[in-house]
Amino acid sequence: MGETGGPRARGRPRSERARAAVLDAATGLLVSGGVQAVTMEAIAARARVSKSTVYKWWPTRGHVMLDSLAHAAGDALAAPAGDGSLAGDLAAEVGALVRAFRDTAAGPLVADIVAAAQADPDVRAALDERWVRPRRAACARLLDDAVARGVLRPDTDVPAAVDQLFAPVYHRLLFGHAALADGLAPTLVRQLLDGLGAGRGRPDEDR
Amino acid sequence: MGETGGPRARGRPRSERARAAVLDAATGLLVSGGVQAVTMEAIAARARVSKSTVYKWWPTRGHVMLDSLAHAAGDALAAPAGDGSLAGDLAAEVGALVRAFRDTAAGPLVADIVAAAQADPDVRAALDERWVRPRRAACARLLDDAVARGVLRPDTDVPAAVDQLFAPVYHRLLFGHAALADGLAPTLVRQLLDGLGAGRGRPDEDR
DNA sequence: CCTTATACTGAACGCACCGTACGATAAAGG
DNA sequence: CCTTTATCGTACGGTGCGTTCAGTATAAGG
- Is there a single domain that holds both residue A96 and residue A158? yes
Task: Name the closest nucleotide to A50, judged by C1' and CA.
Answer: C9
Q: What is the DSSP letter of A76?
A: T
pLDDT score, position A200: 56
Cβ atoms A151, A86 nearer than 8 A: yes
- Is there a single domain that holds both residue A102 and residue A35? no
Q: Is A197 helix (H, G, I), strand (E, B) or coil?
A: strand
pLDDT score, position B200: 56
Task: Name the closest nucleotide to A55, judged by C1' and CA.
Answer: D18
Q: How would you classify residue A179: left for phi > 0, otherwise alpha for psi between -120 and 50, otherwise beta?
A: beta
Size of interface A-B (CB pairs under 8 A): 172
Separation between Cα atoms, residue A198 and residue B151, nearest integer Å: 6
Q: How much is the average pLDDT of B89-110?
A: 96
**What is the rounded average pLDDT for all residues in chain B?**
92
pLDDT score, position A9: 83
- Is there a single domain that holds both residue A167 and residue A107? yes
Does at least one atom of strand C sit less than 7 Å from the CB of A171?
no
Q: What is the CATH number of the domain that holds B22?
A: 1.10.10.60
Q: Which helix (H) or strand (E) holds A81?
A: none
- Is there a single domain that holds both residue A106 and residue A36? no
Spacing of C-alpha A163 from chain mean position:
14
A31 lies in some domain: yes
A26 lies in some domain: yes
Quote the pTM value. 0.92
What's the one-letter identity of residue B111? Answer: A
Q: How much is the average pLDDT of B14-41?
A: 97
Q: Which helix (H) or strand (E) holds B99?
A: helix B86-103
As beta bridge partners, residue B197 has A152
Q: How much is the average pLDDT of B161-179?
A: 97
Which residues of chain B lie closer than 8 angstroms to A152, CB-CB?
Answer: 196-198
- Is there a single domain that holds both residue A26 and residue A95? no
pLDDT score, position B81: 80
- Is there a single domain that holds both residue A171 and residue A123? yes
- Is there a single domain that holds both residue B28 and residue B99? no
Residue A104 neighbours by CB under 8 Å, 6+ apart:
A72, A73, A76
Q: What is the CATH number of the domain that holds A175?
A: 1.10.357.10
Choose the closest CB to A187 out of B119, B157, B176.
B157
- Is there a single domain that holds both residue A98 and residue A49? no
B75 lies in some domain: no
Cβ-count burial B152-188 (b if 16+ within 10 Å, e if not): bbeebbbbbbbbbbbbbbbbbbbbbbeebeeebbbbb
- Is there a single domain that holds both residue B49 and residue B101? no
- Which range marks the domain in which residue A135 is found? 86-194
Q: How much is the average pLDDT of B92-112?
A: 96
Choose the closest CB to A176 out of B124, B175, B194.
B124
Q: Is A20 helix (H, G, I), strand (E, B) or coil?
A: helix
**Per-position pLDDT tens, chain A of length 207:** 444 555 678 899 999 999 999 999 999 999 999 999 999 999 999 999 999 999 999 999 999 999 999 999 877 677 678 889 999 999 999 999 999 999 999 999 999 999 999 999 999 999 999 999 999 999 999 999 999 999 999 999 999 999 999 999 999 999 999 999 999 999 999 999 999 988 655 554 444
pLDDT of B4 above 60: no
